Every structure is written in C-alpha cells, then in structure tokens.
Amino acid sequence: MIAVSSRYNDSKVDVVDDPIRGVHQSVNKPLPDASSTFRFTFHQAVAGETIDGLAATFYGDGRRWWVLADANPEILDWSELLPGTVIRVPYVQ
C-alpha cells in the first residue's frame, strides 16, 4: 500500500522485464510534474561505480541516489551496476 502523502500515490505501475537477469518486477513510475521540464544527460557506467557514488559525483551528495533511481526505473538492481549500462542523469536545480 502506498501512503497518501507519498509522491508515488497517484503513480502508474508498470511491469519491467530484465532479460539479462530473467526477472519481471512491478515498478511505480511517478507522474510527470506538468510545471517543470525534465532535462537530463546520459552517463555510461564503468566498473566499480555505484548509485550513491554517482549521486555524489553528479549532485555532491550520495544520499541523492534516489534521483538517479527515479530517472531510471528500468534498472531493477543497482547493487550490480553493469559496466556499459547507460543511465539518465537528471539536471537538478
């Protein structure tokens, strides 16, 4: 159950397939904020990178890992970010 106060309260639930790991998983996708524009760049992962390390690099704070996770709902397991994986990196003001 999603809390009424959650940003995911009115989100759409999609099923995402991960053919490499052979799993299916339901993913909550937040509704786009009509008042803003989603701008991003791409980053190709290299060996040893982690989601919190990338957040520290791009946002100056590893605790902002969720920004990357929200922008890349198709990545189901961030604990093993495979080299060569291309991720979206949103611009955050």
Please report the pLDDT score of residue 28 as a whole number.
65
Burial class (CB in 10 A: 0-12, 13-18, 19+), 81: buried
Residue 15: the pLDDT is 72
pLDDT of residue 2: 64
CATH code: domain 37-93 is 3.10.350.10
* Token pair 């290299």 in the structure block, residue: 46
Q: Quick one: pLDDT at residue 88?
A: 95
Q: Is-above-0.75 flag for pTM?
A: no
The pLDDT, as a whole number, for residue 84 is 94
- DSSP β-ladder status, 23-29 and 40-44: unpaired
pLDDT along the chain (93 residues), means of 10: 64 70 68 63 95 95 93 90 94 79
Contacts of 60 (CB under 8 A, 6+ apart): none
